[in-house]
Amino acid sequence: MSSASDPLAALGSLPGVAESVDSVRKAVDRVYGHRVMRRRSGEITSEAALRGARGSAALSGADWALEEVRRRTDFGAEEQARTVGAALRLTAEAGQLLSIWRQSPLRVLARLHLVASGSTAEGDVVGRPRLAGEPVDEPFVTAPLPGADEVAGRLDGLSRLIIAGGSAPALITSAVVHGELLALRPFGSYNGLVARAAERIVLINSGLDPKAICPAEVGHAEQGREAYLAAFEGYLSGTAEGMAAWIAHCGRAIELGVRESTAVCEALQRGAA
């Protein structure tokens, strides 16, 4: 497919993007080559899911210590607990939706929002894009909110790109999916969590991270909310420089997620975890 008909692949020609793609690929290959992965990959996957959920929740305002996330069982008492619970549910659900994603990404997004909303779901606003006039509760993302008609059109365009496939590297596709969902905020709540869960699905489904051991959410949180939102402004700008900066930021997040899982591998190898 030519770059003219494959706009995601065309982003690979932006300054620095090819280098980010190569750096991510090498980092992922290194952790997959770790000797612990040959016999204990399931443990790494489980730990990566927990840490990824914690990181995503932190970006949405619930910055809990990892051990607090690990020990808690009640996630319905107050707002931060509900955010952490939503992040954990999304991480668990993402792996169940891989086969559907390439055929019906909008169905997956609706399911993700339903799962995130959990027992707090009210009426028919859950699991569908918002209608004109419906409010959006999205902490920290203050960019102008697209209207419902624009949301519907852009979601359809994003869905068509995903279904069509193409030659774009996983980093580029996942960054665009993440950025577009954050820009649209198509649901009344939990859009940031859903956007990062969708990024996770792309990275797994693409074959870059089939065992889900490279939690980009960890890296987004580690770089900090201020840097995250600054990079997102680059995505919103639509400029070559802004898009390249967002993709590079997402690439760095994956690499930091790799570093986290590598540390888990090392700890298991030492018998310390």
- Residue 1 confidence (pLDDT): 36
- Residue 5 confidence (pLDDT): 67
- Residue 112 confidence (pLDDT): 97
**Of residues 160, 199, 192, the one with CA closest to residue 176:** 199
Calpha distance 205→209 (Å, rounded): 8
DSSP structural state of residue 75: -
- Residue 170 confidence (pLDDT): 97
**Of residues 122, 244, 253, the one with CA closest to residue 187:** 122
Query: What residues form DSSP beta bridges with 189?
Result: 137
Query: Superfamily assignment of 9-270 in CATH?
Result: Fido-like domain (1.10.3290.10)
Please tell me the pTM assigned to this model.
0.94
Burial of 173 from C-beta contacts in 10 A (0-12 / 13-18 / 19+): buried
- Residue 100 confidence (pLDDT): 96
Cα atoms found within 13 Å of the Cα of residue 214, Cβ hemisphere only:
31
For the chain, residues with pLDDT lower than 70 are 1-5, 119-124, 272-273
